Amino acid sequence: MKQPTPAGPRGVSMRTTGVLAGLASLDILLSVVYQWYFLRAIGPGLETDALYAGMMVPQLVLIVLTGSLIQVLVPLLAVQSEETYAQSVWTFMHVVALGFGGIVLLAWITAGWWVPLTVPRFSLEGRQLTVHLVRIQLVGLVLSALSSVLWTAQQARRRFLWSAVSAALAGIVGLGFLLWGLSRLGVAAAAWVGVLRAGLQTVLLLPGVGRYRTPRWRTDLTVEAWRRMRPLLSRSIYFKSDIVVDRFLAGLAPAGALSMLTLSRQLYTAGHQVVNRAVTAPAIPALAQLAARGDWTQFRGLRSARVRWATGGAAASVLLLLLIGHPVLSAFFARSSYRPDQVDQTWQLLLVLSGVWVAGVTSQVLAGAFYAQGDTETPTRIGVISFTAGIALKLLGFRVWGVAGIAAGASLHYLLMGSLLVRAGRRTPAVAASADAVVEPPVASSDPSSEGDFELPAVANERPGGAR
């Protein structure tokens, strides 16, 4: 019987990319429906602001941790033998469950002290609600970190399809829970959705790493992973804390402004996740193998192709937003608690944030190419520089234009980051990976069955207002 042929160095085929994009699009559709139903039923105000403010710190921690795990572990695990791969995945699972779980437990216990500091303009009722919602979301934080390790392991073996299917299934169940629970549990149901989705995806992905193995805490691979993660963790916690800056500033604006800004950002974040799953992540194992072989011609070709796909699609979607975005939003929120003036403001915020969307997908692909070479320093350094400038731009923007000024500062931040990554990629096209990568030849035992497998001036006249 003819055996399947492992995927070539250029990664998955165009047909496979289409399947991935379809599944990822289903995931983003579920996210859009989730946001639509939640805000349609409740409307931007105290409860929604409390939920989004409560997500601030948990999401920052999750973004920093899982982003570092994905960018470091996929290239490392992609070139390991099957036994080393399985042993390493179980070891990283233990590290996350024990180490990260202990930190989250401490945060849960002390939430009544530190959470109110993040929402100083909220009323007492608003602060108490935020503390309650944060504690729910902290439970899901550990489960999300575990599912990220498992998702990374699937990506490294090019088992892309099940990674995408598991996310879609978890999203469907989570949406069903929201439809059932919002009228019964109130805004807390939206917080519990994150716990349910992360837990279900962990259960679905766990069989993919095989039988249980006791951890080996200090191996060449774990030492190398920690060496690569250190600069990412230490610096990413700074330059990825834009979520804290945005929501803290928006929390000083009138009630509902934080919810509208967060909705706009989350729609683009969901789009970034689609690009990551369909375009960026499937290319990283192939890029890592090309870098390990020193085949820089194919490396640059694959990188350029992915940049063109991602950036072109993002730019086309912005044009659609300009042409039909407002009537679509109006139809989505017709006859709901979301007022017409809030629809206007949300559409304008989406337009101002379009730089985050377009430059974000470009930066995502370019940064992934650096990580595949074993170079975590360059994208991290660029991220720190652009984020520092972004803080100043957001502070100035908020002072002059209110919440829309935050959006404008965010777009300028991402445009600066994207341009610096493009320049760095041209100036230093390919560093030798042998110094930074685990020097093992690509293994032919990557599961061949994985073939095809697979978060404006017109509006900105808002000023810091009273308590929620």
Instruction: Check: CB of residue 226 under 8 Å from CB of residue 69.
Output: no
299-311 tens-digit pLDDT: 888 899 889 989 9
- Amino acid present at 151: W
Q: How far apart are CA 224 and CA 91, in angstroms?
A: 14
pLDDT digits (tens, 9 = 90+) for 148-178: 889 888 888 878 788 888 888 999 999 999 9
Check pLDDT > 70 for residue 13: no
Lowest mean pLDDT among 3-7, 252-256, 442-446: 442-446
Confidence of residue 17 (pLDDT cuts 50, 70, 90): low
Taking only the tens place, the pLDDT of each residue in 411-431 is 999 999 999 999 998 764 444
With bands split at pLDDT 50, 70 and 90, how would you rate the model's confidence at 83? Answer: confident
CA 200 – CA 105 distance, rounded (Å)? 21
**Higher pLDDT, residue 388 or 455:** 388
DSSP 140-183: HHHHHHHHHHHHHHHHHTT-HHHHHHHHHHHHHHHHHHHHHHHH
| pLDDT value of residue 452 | 27
pLDDT for residue 346? 94
**Residue type, position 165, single letter:** V
pLDDT for 14 equals: 64
Average pLDDT of span 328-352:
92
Question: 211-220, 224-233, 381-390, 458-467: which has the highest mean pLDDT?
Answer: 381-390
Q: Tell me the percentage of the chain whose pLDDT exceeds 70.
A: 87
Q: List pLDDT tens digits, range 282-298.
A: 788 888 888 888 888 88
Overall pTM surpassing 0.75 (yes/no): no
Contact 364, 379 (CB under 8 A): no
For residue 434, the model assigns a pLDDT of: 35
124-156 helix and 281-293 helix, angle to the nearest 10 degrees: 50
Q: How wide is the angle at C-alpha 232 spanned by C-alphas 53 and 21, nearest 5°?
A: 70
pLDDT of residue 327: 95
Q: What is the pLDDT of residues 86-108, one digit of tens each?
A: 888 888 888 888 888 888 999 99
Q: Which range has the top average pLDDT, 16-25, 41-50, 216-225, 375-384?
A: 41-50
Given this model, what pLDDT does residue 205 score? 92
pLDDT value for 440 = 30
